[in-house]
Structure 1
Amino acid sequence: MSIRRPESGPEKAVADWWRTDIIDMKPGEISYYGYPIESLIGNVSFTQMIWLMTQGELPSPEKAKLLDAALMSAVDHGPQAPSIAIARMASTCGVGLNNAMASAVNVLGDVHGGAGEQAVTFYQMVNEIAASKNSSIEEAVIEGLAKQRELHGKFIPGFGHRFHPVDPRAPRLMELIAEAKADGIVEGRFHSIALQVEKQLLNEKGKAIPMNIDGATAVIYGELGIPAELARGLFCLSRSVGILAHAWEQTQQGGRNKGPIPRDLLWTYDGHPKRDMKNKD
């Protein structure tokens, strides 16, 4: 059977049904955005490949290092995180690793997993305020915080953590961004905005509301020009590593039909007291 790429006629409409700039493939040839796969293998890291596949160009090694730091820092947060717990429970139901991973990734939404995207959007709003009004970052942050609360409520995405008084991941990520800023790799605009938000929250609350992992990775995504919506997808890739690790570990440990609480404990029942069908009237 010959495989061809039609250039005209009705078959061209069929070939155009799925149009893509990402991959070109024919018998014996595979290329991504024009790069033959054999030239990428051994020369491009997985993180650089993620950038190429989502952005269309290869990043500089320095920018790839920042993206790599963002991806590796968010891989796991233990079985108390819903996605990880779901992966482990699914594994005890006899499903395969892919099923357990899919079940877990499907709960990464606005509440669990969406704060990074929300933080990027918030930083971008502050940046746009500063640019459009030619105001200082401090003024833009004050206005941006007010607008964020008006639109979305009191919680500011990327700041504070229900478990960690200080999220140990955020300061190290901010150090790396500061180094990249000093070396001229990134502009540092989002870095400055995030630090000013942290400062303003301290002024408002009288106590520190430290940046968390989502706030810090959002700085990296903002500095690298990654759209907010794509930031959530990248977080899903990152957390998939932890999901896979926990699903695999649970598979090795065994266990059947493990629920969210040990089986010798019962959930709280707030329903109607026991009643008799004879007295239903």
Structure 2
Amino acid sequence: MSERQKLSPSDWWATSIIEMKPGMIRYRGYAIEDLIGRVGFAEMVYLLTRGELPSKPAAKLLEAAMVAAVDHGPQAPSIAIARMAMTCGVGINNAMASATNVLGDVHGGAGEQCVELFNAVAARLPEGARDAATVDAEMITKAVTEEIEALAARGIKHVPGFGHRFHHLDPRAPRILALVDAAAAEGAVSGLFAAIGRTVEDVIAARRGGKRVPMNIDGATGVVFAELGFPPPLCRGLFVLSRSVGCLAHAWEESQSDYRNKGPIPRDQIWTYTGPGPRKVPE
């Protein structure tokens, strides 16, 4: 019999996240009644995913990143799907689930990919160069250039976290970076990944003949997540948590309308047919 088969029922779902029995609930050792009213939602996210309560500056950065990505309008597939689902007669939880299920590599995954990029650049830096004060711009530029060339060698032309199809300058990114800079000045974060992110933008511009491709929301939140040390796969989950707020709001708003079976295009319009012309079924 394997060790897994020998597990007792109480060890089958062993977890370090929550301890619970009648009259008692503790998260990572903290009693829920002590947490309620004393910590915010972002702090609880950090506690449950990382095991410890964050510092106040770290909590502020995480909350800022999650606030920034809550919604981007019905043109975003996740939001559109939430609204369409509600007109099909499903519950609000079904609409939210349908919406978050499309947050994949293309729509919703760039933050995770961006943190992977930033971490890969940091790994190319000299040993011990792990904060903005111990690494110069030339080192970062060299590491960024090498990593972007490595991406290109793998056929990856679009650098995740940079450029936006709607915003020439994503209004969310400068504000987030300013908060990271303030936290770095206080010593709360290293500032290294903010420097890496800005250097990626510079290197892309140099490779495009001076045409800049500004950092977008995924790049800016990627800076925050990397500064806070979140593993890349968790970063997609953080984005899903954030975007769920927009999915909830849009699903609820759509539920107040009188539309039924609302599709992706208005009913007075029809899609473009690209198949064969009219033809007869063979005898």
User: Are residue 221 (structure 1) and residue 240 (structure 2) matched?
Assistant: no
Structure-2 separation of matches of 1:12 and 1:112: 40
Match of 2:196 among 185, 193, 211: 193
Partner amino acid for 2:254?
Answer: Q
* 1:145 equivalent in structure 2: 148
Match of 2:269 among 265, 269, 272: 265
Structure-2 separation of matches of 1:23 and 1:154: 43
* 2:48 equivalent in structure 1: 53
User: Are residue 247 (structure 1) and residue 241 (structure 2) matched?
Assistant: no
Spell out, residue by residue over 1:59-115, the C-alpha distance to the aligned partner (whole angstroms, 9 max, x if none).
011110000000000000000000000000000001110000000000000010000
Spell out, residue by residue over 1:232-254, the C-alpha distance to the aligned partner (whole angstroms, 9 max, x if none).
00000000000000000000123
Report the TM-score when normalising by structure 1.
Answer: 0.93
Partner amino acid for 2:159?
Answer: I
- More deviation in 142-151 or 84-93? 142-151
* 2:165 equivalent in structure 1: 162
* 1:75 equivalent in structure 2: 70
Partner amino acid for 1:197?
Answer: V
Large movers: runs of 4+ above 3 Å: 131-135
C-alpha RMSD of the superposition: 1.6
Q: How does 1:1-281 map to 2 (within 5 A)?
A: 13-131=8-126, 136-205=139-208, 206-277=210-281, 280=282
What's the offset of the Cα at 1:152? 4.8
Structure-1 separation of matches of 2:250 and 2:70: 11
Structure-1 separation of matches of 2:128 and 2:148: 16
Query: Across the two proteins, how many residue pairs are aligned to each other?
Result: 270
Residue aligned with 1:51, SS: helix
What's the offset of the Cα at 1:131? 3.2
Structure 2's unaligned 5+ residue stretches are 130-137
Structure 1's unaligned 5+ residue stretches are 1-9
What's the offset of the Cα at 1:24? 0.5
The structure-2 alpha-carbon separation of the partners of 1:73 and 1:14, relative to structure 1 and needing over 3 Å to count, comes to same
What's the offset of the Cα at 1:263? 0.8
Identity %: 57
* 1:4 equivalent in structure 2: none
Residue aligned with 2:273, SS: coil
Residue aligned with 1:25, SS: strand
